[in-house]
Structure 1
Amino acid sequence: MDARRDEESAIASAPLLAAAAASRSGSRSHAADAHVLSAAFLFVFSAYSAAQNLESSVNADGDLGTVSLGILYTSFTLFSVVASPVVTRLGTKRALVVGTSGYLLFILANLVPTWYTMVPASLYLGFTASIIWVGQGTYLTSAALSHAREHNLPEGPTLGSFNGEFWGMFASTQVIGNLISLALLRNGKDRRMLLIIPLIAYSGLQQAFVWAVFTKSIVTPVLGISGVGGAMAIYGASDVVCSLVAGRLTSGLHSATSIVSVGAIVQAIVLFWLLLFYSPMDGVLGAAIPLFIGALWGVGDGVLNTQLSALLGLLFEDVKEAAFAQLKVWQSGAIAVIFFLSPSITLQAMLILMTTALFISFASFLFLTLVVEKSSTVRP
């Protein structure tokens, strides 16, 4: 049984390039093949991400772009059910090659976008996407385990290292694709986006603050690990209610400005309180304070989530795909910053960082809505 498993693993982790086999005993290694895999996905998905982000704008006639994406992901879902046996039959190398062909065909179809080109290309991409991702996971795991065995390394950290490199490279596709989208925000919209990016980034910072800092440094010392669930449930409930209310109250740019201001002020109060006055307390009051903080923070999060989406729709109606692409790339980057920083800086330093980011982002936002957009055609 073990011999069969080792044989299957060796087949699954066979080198991606023919040259690799000849030099396996030399400097070439499974790690080098992981570099090749990561780079290949970077190039393929940089092109595909940019095409997907702009699909509904470029192919707007008859909603060809959005319908094509709907067909693509429906096909992806259905074919994922049978992807595993297909990859097993093809082998991981062939699965990766066949999977790449779907992305290339979809990009080529966009050069002559009609129902007769986009629909078949979307169906085919759904199939190939299902097998490329099964092939990727299978190959990377097998290569990592083989690398660990060959070099007498622990399997867990090796798997983490291989996957970290791959997903780090893959995340770069969004940066590259969204920089292209940012370049399309012309005719005065580069200025609008630059002024709203700080608020977008802050929305990511404040979300990660709750996940990484609030639970660890404020809730756990008072309520223990068991109290984290309750505090986050209150935060989530507050978030839901404020999202619904803020959405109902939004009628235009002026109302969005007022609602964002309320959320920013609430979070500023919490940050100043934590920075200047807060210290853990015993008793019922001490236990209630983290829950109250969670509820207040949920107000700000609910407001920012609803109003940022509304603002992007109001300010970038004609290039909304590029605008919403920027929303995700800056939010995600800001979230990553908090997770990387939180283990190495104090709570006080994190609170100062958050307070500074809030003031800069809110000032930039007010300048955009009250000065730059004063003569805008967007109606309140």
Structure 2
Amino acid sequence: MDAMLRNVILMGVSLMLIFTAFQTTGIIEQTVISSVKTDDPSFNGDGYLSLAIIYAAFATANWLAPSILSLSGPKYGMIMGAIPYIIFVGCFLKPTTWSLYLTSVLVGIGAAVLWTAQGNYLTLNSNETTMGRNSGIFWAIFQCSMLFGNIFVFYAFDGLSYIEEHTRRLVFLVLLGVSIAGLLLAFLLGTVSHSDAIANEAPLQALKEAPKLLVTQQMFLLCFTFIYTGLELSFFSGVYSTAIGFTLAFGERAKRLVGLSGVFIGVGEIFGGLLFGILGKKTTRYGRDPVVLLGCLVHLGCFYLIFLNLPDDSPFGKTSHLAPIESSTHCDNNYFLLFFFLFHHSANLAMLCSFLLGFGDACFNTQVIALLGILYSENSAPAFAIFKFFQSLAAAACFFYSGSIGLHYQLLILVVTVIGGTYSFWWVDWTRTSPSLEIDSVDDDAGTDVDAQGAQ
């Protein structure tokens, strides 16, 4: 194992610990807040609004991230960006409305720096031959964050329909300790020598690079893919698991299923990362576009199953309404009846959809990260800043409308954007490898290695 691969693995473990705390907090946030309001009527915070603020601040701060990295470098950029995540988790030990929203703003700013630094650091520790492998390995390690915290929550919330203060405090104390351990581990990251332009630019010049890059044809088209990754990120990280927890048809196990859903999402993410990282030469033998098409088809099927399985009003609060799969038992549609027979009470189907959400997300993100790392290997920070800007802007929009638009219309938005995002990625990848089109001159040999990341 060379020094660069060690850096990638160490970065993955560090961010995995930090996001074990943060992603678990995001998944259970709305569920926990509903219990906090029972104890403290003066508390009027909203989980969806908190997450929307995070991603809105994230999107705005992304334009400043390259300038900050030109001063700090990627290692210390990740460290600085991680600190607000720890503060955010800690605020749930004694939640107040003002601290929830203030720390949400801080997390958004920190996220912009952290994820731009992560993409830059991954690129600097890779080359065209290893970029796909390294991004896949990082993705698989990082997405273990979806497992550990959610397994803990699954057992901590066992049999609880109301999350009392003692349980909340215990959960967030553990998550806070885990996030601090991840921050300390980041100090052990090695430094690398490189020729990346961001290291040699003044902050003002670095600030100008991202807008200049955005108006290029291939980056403009990739923005449609970035937008979809943001919408589906917010859906599976904040909306879907919450909708499961509010569906009374699941009975007393509904709150436990919130954590278990996160576990299955994580399993799907890890499986995808390993499949497209370690086995990258085989899975991307014909390019990256088939992998993205696989992710598209997986998500389209998943969205249809979620439509069948959960009530339209499940993201808003506790609901006793029937899902289409259950109400269909009163009609003569044999297709619906078959699903009902196989997935009675919906819990098994809900967990299957969680896995499919994670796996499809891995299909998109591993390929997007690897493609950016190859196309913009000499100027990666602005490229990743643009990626995170559009991803976080879309995520913020999703969280803003999640509290007012029914689940089924949210699924329709995802269906439309996944088709558009897949097509735009295909166009860029085709033109990049076609000898008859001169979009750029990057050789595609690295495409046989495959491809990670994500943010939040």
TM-score (norm 2): 0.46
Deviations 1:180-228 (A, max 9, x none): 3323428xx8211111111122112111111222113346424312211
Report SS of the residue matched to 1:229: helix
What is the aligned partner in structure 1 of residue 397 from structure 2? 337
Match of 2:271 among 221, 227, 241: 241
Distance across 2 between alignment mates of 1:163 and 1:287: 34
Following TM superposition, by how much is the alpha carbon of 1:167 offset from its aligned partner in structure 2, in angstroms?
7.3
What is the aligned partner in structure 1 of residue 325 from structure 2? 279
Distance across 2 between alignment mates of 1:173 and 1:295: 29
Contact 2:306 2:353 in 1 (8 A): no
Match of 2:230 among 193, 204, 219: 204
Following TM superposition, by how much is the alpha carbon of 1:287 offset from its aligned partner in structure 2, in angstroms?
2.1
Match of 1:50 among 48, 66, 69: 66
Contact 1:256 1:310 in 2 (8 A): no
Contact 1:264 1:300 in 2 (8 A): yes
What is the aligned partner in structure 2 of residue 263 from structure 1? 295
Report SS of the residue matched to 1:318: coil
Report SS of the residue matched to 1:185: helix
**Relative to structure 1, is the Cα distance of residues 339 and 179 closer, same or farther in structure 2, using a 3 angstrom cutoff?**
farther
What is the aligned partner in structure 2 of residue 302 from structure 1? 362
What is the aligned partner in structure 2 of residue 291 from structure 1? 351
Q: Pairwise CA RMSD of aligned residues?
A: 4.3
**Relative to structure 1, is the Cα distance of residues 160 and 288 closer, same or farther in structure 2, using a 3 angstrom cutoff?**
closer
Following TM superposition, by how much is the alpha carbon of 1:163 offset from its aligned partner in structure 2, in angstroms?
6.0
User: Which piece of structure 1 moves more, 163-172 or 223-232?
Assistant: 163-172
Deviations 1:275-297 (A, max 9, x none): 46853569964221101111111
Higher share of residues assigned helix: 1
Distance across 1 between alignment mates of 2:105 and 2:239: 26
- The one-letter code sitting in structure 1 at the alignment partner of 2:243 is S
**Relative to structure 1, is the Cα distance of residues 340 and 249 closer, same or farther in structure 2, using a 3 angstrom cutoff?**
same
- What percentage of aligned pairs have identical amino acids? 21
- The one-letter code sitting in structure 2 at the alignment partner of 1:51 is S
Deviations 1:51-110 (A, max 9, x none): 23456xxxxxxxxx85xx54x569x78xxxxxxxxxxxxxxxxxxxxxxxxxxxxxxxxx
Aligned length: 252
- The one-letter code sitting in structure 2 at the alignment partner of 1:181 is E
- The one-letter code sitting in structure 2 at the alignment partner of 1:308 is V
Deviations 1:136-182 (A, max 9, x none): x9xxx9xxxxxxxxxxxxx9445556667777889899999997332
Following TM superposition, by how much is the alpha carbon of 1:255 offset from its aligned partner in structure 2, in angstroms?
2.5
User: Which piece of structure 1 moves more, 366-375 or 191-200?
Assistant: 366-375
Following TM superposition, by how much is the alpha carbon of 1:327 offset from its aligned partner in structure 2, in angstroms?
2.0
Alignment of 1:333-372 (within 5 A): 333-371=393-431
- The one-letter code sitting in structure 2 at the alignment partner of 1:52 is I
What is the aligned partner in structure 2 of residue 215 from structure 1? 241
**Relative to structure 1, is the Cα distance of residues 179 and 171 closer, same or farther in structure 2, using a 3 angstrom cutoff?**
farther
Distance across 2 between alignment mates of 1:348 and 1:47: 33
Contact 1:219 1:228 in 2 (8 A): yes
List gaps (5 residues or longer) in structure 1: 1-44, 56-64, 78-129, 142-154
Alignment of 1:1-380 (within 5 A): 49-54=65-70, 66=73, 70=75, 72=76, 156-158=96-98, 180-185=208-213, 190-218=216-244, 220-221=246-247, 222-223=249-250, 224-251=254-281, 254-275=286-307, 279-280=325-326, 285=344, 286-371=346-431, 373-375=433-435, 376-377=440-441, 378-380=443-445
- The one-letter code sitting in structure 1 at the alignment partner of 2:211 is A
Distance across 2 between alignment mates of 1:47 and 1:240: 30
Report SS of the residue matched to 1:309: helix
**Relative to structure 1, is the Cα distance of residues 332 and 162 closer, same or farther in structure 2, using a 3 angstrom cutoff?**
closer
Larger Cα Rg: Structure 1 or Structure 2?
A: 1
TM-score (norm 1): 0.55
Distance across 2 between alignment mates of 1:312 and 1:350: 28
